[in-house]
């Protein structure tokens, strides 16, 4: 079924898109439907605000990113930024620009993904806007969150001798993107409209690219263990880039051990298959949405008891700079690679939009992690 967006009108479309979003948070006093939403901020809390803009052809490619996954990811990457401040995401607003090749059903699919993300993370959709676009699909999500007064964890608090920790594993989302791009090229070259991409045994890296999760679980475990990181951020642009952000903001240096960087087996296999350097992929891949944080040395034993967190190095004096310690004991200076989702933006007006999930599981089942360079705290 294909319903033209113009047949509903802007208000009809907004009504349709937002009717299945109940408000679950006490702080959401008034949601969609008035001139503005009303949010209550308790006197012992502070409000966190983060925003993220996704542009077709720059941040995603609708030839292989199912729209439901896109909606899910657009929401989750914002949640990840709020968790990375040691906060809890509470509300989002979603603004969408759509060109004429998208139908009401396409937009429904994006909102279905957003709804599942909101359900999984207990977040309320409280507003947004829709508009016609002449440059393809545009999605902008703004997330509001709350944090105990004075307890937000910033990038600038890392101190000499602090341990550097990272959750989960790195590089998988990047290898998932490489896989999707390869299969897309093979499909185009085959000229076969029924071409079936081969994703077997690669589900994890696909899921990491198409349906990342924010590490709410890690924030909860840190709280339970009584650990307050000295500095924290989420890994959206790649470990190298994020380490340099922390070093710069904290005026420190760091040493990270190559053999301590957590990498999944599927990531390693895919890198081998594509003849790519695994450590480079893990250090610079991006879109992992894992948490990178530093803790005092005295928290070492507590960190060791937390599943899914690994200590990868330590903070040094600023004059030592940031370096990767290789397996043979050598040191390589860490540089930001400036990761970009797409070096060659696609011709957006002629591509077909995928309707079905491309092999990853649908974003319904909860699991426990952006690349584009969000700017909160950097500007
Ligand atoms: Mg971030």
pLDDT of residue 349: 42
Closest CA to 82 of 180, 151, 165: 151
CA of 352 to the centre of ligand 1 (A): 31
pLDDT of residue 264: 97
Structure tokens at 349: 């007006």
CA of 33 to the centre of ligand 1 (A): 30
Backbone angles phi, psi at 332, to 5 degrees: -120, 125
The CATH H-level (homologous superfamily) assignment of domain 163-333 is PurM-like C-terminal domain (3.90.650.10)
**pLDDT band of 245, cuts 50, 70, 90:** very high
Checking if the pLDDT of 369 tops 80, the result is no
CA of 144 to the centre of ligand 1 (A): 14
Domain boundaries, the chain: 5-152, 163-333
In this prediction, residues 182-210 reach a mean pLDDT of 90
| Cβ–Cβ < 8 Å for 66, 210 | yes
**pLDDT band of 374, cuts 50, 70, 90:** very low
CA of 143 to the centre of ligand 1 (A): 12
User: Residue 82 belongs to what H/E stretch?
Assistant: helix 67-83
Checking if the pLDDT of 246 tops 70, the result is yes
Q: Report residue 173 CA to chain centroid gap.
A: 10
**pLDDT band of 346, cuts 50, 70, 90:** very low
The dihedral built from the CA positions of residue 306, 309, 312 and 313, taken in this order, carries a sign that is negative
| pTM assigned to the model | 0.88
In this prediction, residues 86-92 reach a mean pLDDT of 98
CA of 374 to the centre of ligand 1 (A): 6
Over the Cα atoms of the chain, what is R_g? 21
**pLDDT band of 192, cuts 50, 70, 90:** confident
pLDDT of residue 336: 79
**Placement of tokens 């990047």 in the chain:** 174
Structure tokens at 63: 């030839």
In this prediction, residues 191-200 reach a mean pLDDT of 85
pLDDT of residue 9: 78
CA of 198 to the centre of ligand 1 (A): 32
CA of 74 to the centre of ligand 1 (A): 13
Among 3.90.1150.10, 3.30.1330.10, 3.30.2320.30, 3.40.50.460, name the CATH number for the domain at 5-152.
Answer: 3.30.1330.10
């Amino acid at each position: 079924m294909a319903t033209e967006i113009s047949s509903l009108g802007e208000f009809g479309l907004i009504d349709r898109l937002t009717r299945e979003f109940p408000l679950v948070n006490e702080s959401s006093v008034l949601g969609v439907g008035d001139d503005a939403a009303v949010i209550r901020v308790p006197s012992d809390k502070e409000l966190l605000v983060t925003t993220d803009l996704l542009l077709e052809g720059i941040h995603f490619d609708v030839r292989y990113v199912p729209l439901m996954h896109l909606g899910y990811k657009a929401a989750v990457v914002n949640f990840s930024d709020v968790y990375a401040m040691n906060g809890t995401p509470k509300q989002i607003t979603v603004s969408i620009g759509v060109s004429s090749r998208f139908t009401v059903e396409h937009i429904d699919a994006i909102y279905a993904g957003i709804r599942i993300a909101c359900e999984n993370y207990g977040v309320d959709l409280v507003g947004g806007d829709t508009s016609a676009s002449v440059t393809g699909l545009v999605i902008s999500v703004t997330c509001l969150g709350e944090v105990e007064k004075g307890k937000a964890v910033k990038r600038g608090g890392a101190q000499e001798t602090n341990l550097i920790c990272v959750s989960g594993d790195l590089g998988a989302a990047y290898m998932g993107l490489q896989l999707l791009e390869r299969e897309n090229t093979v499909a185009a070259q085959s000229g076969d409209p029924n071409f079936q991409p081969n994703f077997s045994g690669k589900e994890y890296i696909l899921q990491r690219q198409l349906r990342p999760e924010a590490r709410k679980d890690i924030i909860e475990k840190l709280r339970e263990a009584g650990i307050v990181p000295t500095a924290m951020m989420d890994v959206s642009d790649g470990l190298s880039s994020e380490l340099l952000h922390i070093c710069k903001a904290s005026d420190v240096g760091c040493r990270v051990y190559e053999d301590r960087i957590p990498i999944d087996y599927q990531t390693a296999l895919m890198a081998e298959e594509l003849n790519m350097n695994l450590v480079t992929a893990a250090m610079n891949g991006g879109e992992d949405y894992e948490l990178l944080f530093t803790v005092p040395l005295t928290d070492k034993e507590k960190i060791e008891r937390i599943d899914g967190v690994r200590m990868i190095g330590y903070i040094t004096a600023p004059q030592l700079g940031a370096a990767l310690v290789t397996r043979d004991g050598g040191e390589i200076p860490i540089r930001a690679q400036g990761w970009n989702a797409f070096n060659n933006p696609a011709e957006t007006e002629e591509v077909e939009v995928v309707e079905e999930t491309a092999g990853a599981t649908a974003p319904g089942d909860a699991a426990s992690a952006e690349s584009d360079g969000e700017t909160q705290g950097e500007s």
